[in-house]
């Protein structure tokens, strides 16, 4: 069976010299279906079953819960703004389909752009497809606001993959986290599209009371036709945004008015479980924690970085509590753990092994400093009340320096005893 499929595949193998792009596609597909028959040559005769494909797929698997919740939450936030189906499970089919229809284009555009560029560079340089791009492409939709225009997304992804990764030589060589680079590109190039209160809820003209919803043919004809046939509730194009709705994230509220301003709008359990506006994948803390613990236990992500980051955040949070000059500074440090995207950044962004510090001691320092700078930027930055993206990119830049210092200590110890 396996042999026959292999033979069939080999019949259609494109010429690597003449059709490099097709060959890269073919090779990627082939190694995806079948672990290759390479045997060890020099050196060790047996190899661990672990390879980069398996490492990467585990990160993607750990993200799936965030995807599931994120999809649903897009729909949930949409209907909250309209004042319909305010219970979390009410109108579940509408919320799910709405979220799916919002998320799928983001997901597809990200993957087409990222994989297209990776395939192109793989064929140009003659190496096989590197799996790291799949993780980046799986992470990018989760850190984007749900209402982001797709063309901006495409430009952001292309920038991150070409300038942030391929320009440095591909997987394993990049200095900055590719997913965050796409986010930071959009953040600085199109600031109005990714900040403010309006971007976190999808499908509204604006967040002011009375503005109309934006439903398309798919919602009104396809989905409504389907739901009507099934006898379920349908999308109502006549709904408008209710009075008193704010699309503001807890961080924006906390920045303006401290912890009381936050709890006026969102309850603690709402923020913990994630039924709040925000980037697609970062709202539900328990599901992110499952991913984080899973990655740490499977030894795919470094628990040192995660723990270091928690310590850094707690330490800085306490420090700023003590200072307490602005309303945001007075928000108790333990609330900072679950408002905003701290946990998502900790589990999936800071732990990227390529851009993080690579020595064990360095990982502690790296994690701690991300926590420190992340809190400083989150609380003291007047323009934008979130800091992990910038803190992680900052520490990505300095992680070689941290490693250098750790290694220098090792070298000096060796030389001193000589």
Q: Which residues contact another protein (rule: CB under 8 A)? A: 2, 6, 31, 33-40, 42-55, 57-58, 128, 130-132, 169-173, 263, 267-269, 297-300, 302, 332, 334, 353-354, 356, 358-360, 363, 403, 407, 410-411, 413-415, 417-418
3 state DSSP class of 314: helix
Contact 238, 309 (CB under 8 A): no
Please say which residue, 148 or 350, places its beta carbon nearer to another protein: 350
CB distance 366 to 356 below 8 Å: yes
Measured distance CA(111)–CA(138) in Å, rounded: 8
Cβ proximity to another protein: between 150 and 408 the closer is 408
Q: Closest distance between another protein and the C-beta of residue 181, in Å?
A: 17
Q: How far is the CB of 170 from another protein (least distance, A)?
A: 7
- As measured in angstroms, the least distance from the Cβ of 311 to another protein is 16
Between 3 and 243, name the residue whose CB sits nearer to another protein: 3
Of 28 and 146, the one with the shorter C-beta distance to another protein is: 28
- Closer to another protein by CB, 171 or 283: give it: 171
Show the 3-state SS of 194-224.
HCCCCCCCCCECCCCCCCEECCCHHHHHHHH
Taking residue 120's Cβ as centre, other Cβ atoms within 10 Å add up to 16
Q: Which tokens sit at 5?
A: 């499929």
* Residue 148: alpha-carbon gap to chain centroid: 14
**DSSP secondary structure code for residue 141 in this structure:** G
> 162 vs 337, which CB is nearer to another protein?
337
**Residues near 55 by beta carbon (within 8 Å), at least 6 away in sequence:** 131, 300
Q: What is the DSSP string of 365-385?
A: HHHHHHHHHHHHHHHH-SS-S
Q: Residues 6 or more apart from 1 whose CB is under 8 A from it?
A: none
CB-nearer residue toward another protein: 18 or 414: 414
Report the nearest approach of another protein to the CB of residue 188 (Å): 28
Q: What are the CA-CA distances from residue 11 to residues 15, 21, 119, 129, 405 (Å)?
A: 11, 17, 22, 21, 53
Collapsed DSSP state (helix, strand, coil) of residue 89? coil
CA-based torsion, 54, 59, 65, 68: positive or negative: negative
CB of 75 to another protein, least distance (A): 25
Place of tokens 């110890």: 413
Cβ closer to another protein: 15 or 40?
A: 40
Nearer to another protein by C-beta: 207 or 396? 396
Give me the least distance between CB of 412 and another protein, in Å please.
8
Strand partners, 20: none
**Distances 72 to 272, 284, 342 between C-alpha atoms, Å:** 16, 11, 21
The nearest distance, CB 48 to another protein, in angstroms, is 5
For residue 297, the minimal CB distance to another protein (Å) is: 6
Given a contact cutoff of 8 angstroms between Cβ atoms, the answer to whether 78 and 98 are in contact is yes
Taking the C-alpha atoms of residue 325 and residue 198, their distance in angstroms, rounded to an integer, is 28
Taking the complex as a whole, the smallest distance from the CB of residue 56 to another protein amounts, in Å, to: 9
């Amino acid at each position: 069976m396996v042999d026959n499929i292999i033979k069939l595949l080999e019949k259609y193998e494109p010429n690597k010299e003449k059709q490099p792009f097709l060959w890269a596609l073919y090779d990627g597909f082939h190694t995806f279906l079948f672990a290759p028959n390479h045997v060890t040559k020099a050196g060790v005769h047996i190899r661990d079953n672990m390879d980069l494909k398996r490492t990467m797929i585990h990160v993607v698997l750990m993200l799936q819960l965030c995807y599931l919740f994120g999809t649903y939450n897009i729909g949930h936030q949409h209907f909250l703004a309209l004042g319909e189906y305010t219970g979390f499970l009410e109108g579940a089919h509408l919320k799910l389909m709405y979220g799916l229809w919002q998320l799928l284009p983001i997901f597809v555009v990200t993957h087409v752009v990222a994989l297209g560029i990776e395939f192109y560079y793989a064929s140009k340089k003659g190496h096989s497809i590197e799996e790291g791009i799949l993780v980046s492409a799986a992470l990018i939709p989760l850190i984007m606001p749900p209402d982001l225009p797709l063309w901006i997304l495409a430009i952001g992804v292309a920038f991150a993959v070409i300038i942030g990764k391929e320009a440095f030589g591909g997987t394993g060589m990049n200095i900055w986290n590719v997913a965050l680079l796409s986010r930071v590109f959009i953040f600085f190039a199109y600031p109005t599209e990714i900040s403010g209160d309006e971007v976190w809820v999808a499908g509204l003209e604006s967040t002011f009371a009375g503005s109309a919803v934006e439903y398309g043919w798919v919602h009104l004809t396809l989905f409504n036709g389907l739901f009507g046939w099934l006898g379920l509730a349908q999308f109502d194009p006549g709904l408008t945004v209710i009075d008193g709705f704010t699309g503001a994230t807890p961080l924006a509220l906390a920045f303006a008015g401290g912890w009381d301003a936050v709890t006026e709008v969102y309850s603690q359990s709402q923020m913990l479980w994630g039924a709040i506006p925000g980037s697609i994948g970062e709202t539900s803390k328990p599901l992110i924690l499952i991913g984080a613990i899973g990655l740490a236990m499977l030894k795919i992500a470094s628990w040192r970085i995660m723990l270091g980051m928690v310590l850094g955040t707690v330490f800085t949070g306490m420090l700023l509590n003590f200072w307490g000059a602005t309303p945001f500074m007075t928000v108790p440090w333990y609330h900072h753990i679950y408002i905003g995207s701290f946990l998502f950044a900790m589990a999936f962004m800071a732990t990227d092994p390529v851009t993080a510090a690579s020595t064990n001691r360095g990982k502690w320092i790296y994690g701690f400093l991300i926590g420190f700078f992340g809190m400083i930027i989150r609380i003291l930055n007047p323009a934008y009340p979130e800091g992990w993206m910038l803190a992680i990119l900052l520490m990505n830049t300095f992680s070689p320096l941290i490693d250098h210092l750790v290694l220098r200590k090792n070298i000096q110890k060796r030389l001193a005893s000589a």
